[in-house]
Amino acid sequence: MHTQSDEIIAIVDDDQAIRVAIAGLVRSMGWQAELFESALAFLQSPNIARTACVVSDVRMPGMSGVEMHDRLLQLGYRLPTIFVTAFPIPELDEKRGVPGVIAILLKPIDPTVMAEHLERALAASGNA
């Protein structure tokens, strides 16, 4: 288990219940969670540079998680990202192997699987 640090795990999902559930898991692992109800809200955050990993829903109003990831890459951020979705789409298959994409998980999310991917994402970023 990791000890508390200044790095943030950003949780981006329009479903409040999902955000809160993932935040509980992240905090139980010793990480700081910051919750966002939309991709645009995260992109406007002053803490992007302190973000160690992003857990993002794929389908959200306004901007999808995939579009947000593309925008982060355009801005020069290579944040380890875990996508979660209840609706697998072809666009996701194209994301496998793209820099930063650690996993694509289907909802409902198994907490043990999410924890394993978070550990892997944080190890890959050098923050574990």
Whole-model pTM above 0.85? yes
* Residue-by-residue pLDDT tens, the chain, 128 positions: 444 456 799 999 999 999 999 999 999 989 999 999 999 999 999 999 999 999 999 999 999 999 999 999 999 999 999 999 998 777 777 777 787 899 999 989 999 999 999 998 888 776 55
Half-sphere exposure of 65 (CA within 13 A, CB side): 33
Domain 8-124 is found in CATH 3.40.309.10: no
Smallest CA-to-CA distance from 95 within 110, 83, 85, 107 is with 83
E strand map for the chain: 8-12, 32-36, 51-57, 81-85, 101-106
